[in-house]
Structure 1
Amino acid sequence: MSKKTILVSLGFAFLFSFNLARAGVIINEVQLSPTEERFIELYNPGGSSVELTGWYIQRKTETGSAFGSLVSKTYFENKAINADDYFLISHDSIPNADIVLGSLTLTESNMIQLKNSNQEIVDKIGWGEASDCEGACAPNPATGKSIQKMDDDWIVSASTPGEENQVSGDEEENNNDDESNNESEETTAETKKAETPLANKTKITAQMPAFAGLPVQFKISNTVSGKSCGKYSLNFGDGNSLETQKIFSIPEKFTHIYYYPGEYIVTVECYKSYLSSEPDASDKMTIKVVLSEVVISKTGDVKDFFVEISNNAPYEADISSWVLSSYQNKFIFPKNTILKSKNKIIISPKTTNFSILDKDTLSLVNSEGETMSDFLSSQKQTGVSTKNSIVNSTAVKP
């Protein structure tokens, strides 16, 4: 063998190994609408599991000049994606979801990028009229359809969250009217393969993090439609467990309260029948429980008695049905009142009907009736005087 042949062979070997080294997690599928079915699917084509702690996803709109946070590092903490497996981030709890994020926002002509713990771009995708796509922009998908990676290209087809991407029958017919009979036979074979009965799997999900002292909702789903469970057995990981009773309709949503922060392993077993002694399927997840840091941080004065509520935690906080209470008045926060991390809201007295007379007994009570913040006590603990907590609206003249 000549030296030239050896060098060429070594060159190909080097390039091939380099591409393998670069192979990693990719953005594999994205669905925008309907909102309750919105998701982002990641895929690990590699031969080993990839730890996702410290990873995050950013988003940029068509008119945006910079990327903003979409899925923060918090949600990827202690997560991993197995070899040749999928990782699903969904707006609502759907089968196979690994992260359920109610604030997941995806619209037409957006761009998203996946970054690792070193803040390096691992993969990115743009669709519609996005300005900076990785290669060609994918089309804006119709409602109920998703953008899917297929042979290093993007197609729009019927969504397949947590499963292998496939061209739907309608899409294939529209795009391949002039294909040969051999290709039609391959399509028929793929269709038959997709109709093969799948093994039933049970999936448990919950929106995280959970807050100590507040209910967290778990949702259980089955990957095969029509294969329901006759009985569920749950272990919440904190010494509490639950087994469904002999009832006709088995619930798929369960709530539980953790009273202390920490990480708990939750397991669920699905029994085909109430009389079954061995589970038909099972799943487990780790739920992170943190302390709530929502407080009354400031109030106004006699002319404008606003109330400022701050969330000092590094997580979003849902304060729906929480009560701002005083000796003589109360205000209930409406459904879907969500406080961003390290952020605040200021509530007008025109909304609460509170006045300066409510100040001395003002407190914030959670949906379980527990006092989360007492304004006067919190001011004393932080060393802030009562006088300084009130905004002085009278200007001092020189």
Structure 2
Amino acid sequence: MPFALLLLGLAVFAQATSEFMLSGLVPDIARDLQVTVPAAGSLTSAFAVGMVVGAPLMAVLGRRWSRRGALLGFLIVFLAVHVVGAVTDSFGVLLATRVVGALANAGFLAVALVAATGMVAPEAKGRATSTLLAGVTLACVVGVPAVVAVARSVPGGAAGVAPPPLRGEVRALRSPRLLGTLLLGALVNGATFCTFTYLAPLATEVGGLDDAWVPGVLALFGAGAFAGVSAGGRFADRRPALVVTAGGAVLCAGWCALALGAGDPVPALGLVFLLGALSFGVGSTLISQVLYAAPGAPTLAGGFATAAFNVGAALGPWSGGAAIGAGFGYRSPVWVSAGLVASALALVVAASAVRASRVSRTSRASRVTPV
């Protein structure tokens, strides 16, 4: 993998930390800012909503700039708004910084996906995507060094070369295969964020762990996620259907097992690692399949992949918070996660049945001898 791609992965981590770090802080934010736990969890949904809106919008705006210039601009804005968020004691201001930061993060990720796949051979999109998204799973790199690294290492892009016509790219985004993959990605990512956002109260209130264990639990999920992305990248280009179907089935069973066994810390911790691996292994494979499914939209595919996955990242915490608010307890987001993955698997089965039916009809028609 090119060195610039590895640096992009580190920069992606620096921003993804903002999306993931609140999961361990939800109870503290609720207490310090005097809001409910579901309200504090909505900060994750707010970030995801900004990503949904920002990804396609910033991908369109970014068509006018060099890749290096767009990446640097988005990264600097992201860092600036987080300085404001770090010092405020107002929930409203914090919420606003989450949205603005997400807009910048969405633009960066949309351009980075295009840049990453442009650095490798056409048949290696899965490995490039997994390398980039590995940055989402790491938690020990700050953002400022990433600015310098991106400025020095990422190619400027197709300077002087006009991008494909915007209307043609939008038409290419209408393909049924692409839309189906985007929907699957939204469901799987929704399941991931639904539980991960409320993993801290699940571990302490249901599992009986001390608050000091929370960073370790989140790190365990992150370690699993890194392992899953790394393993998924090896198979995403060769056996994507197997990763999505088999991995999705085990993921659904794993969410059910965690919901049932969350009260016993030892197996629950093992499941946290496993579910992190499966969630990101399946999720990163789906992102790469979006890029494969949209060859006619080279500059917008990354933006729409980012938007779709953050539809899930917005709806997941919201639905988990709604379940908690309805009085179903801290296990309920895990059951919601299981339901979301089960829905994704049902769509895969239905799509496979439709394709098999079409192939069968075509085969029978080809055997009919004209009179």
Structure with greater proportional strand content: 1
Structure with greater proportional helix content: 2
Larger Cα Rg: Structure 1 or Structure 2? 1
What TM-score does the superposition give when structure 2 sets the normalisation length? 0.24
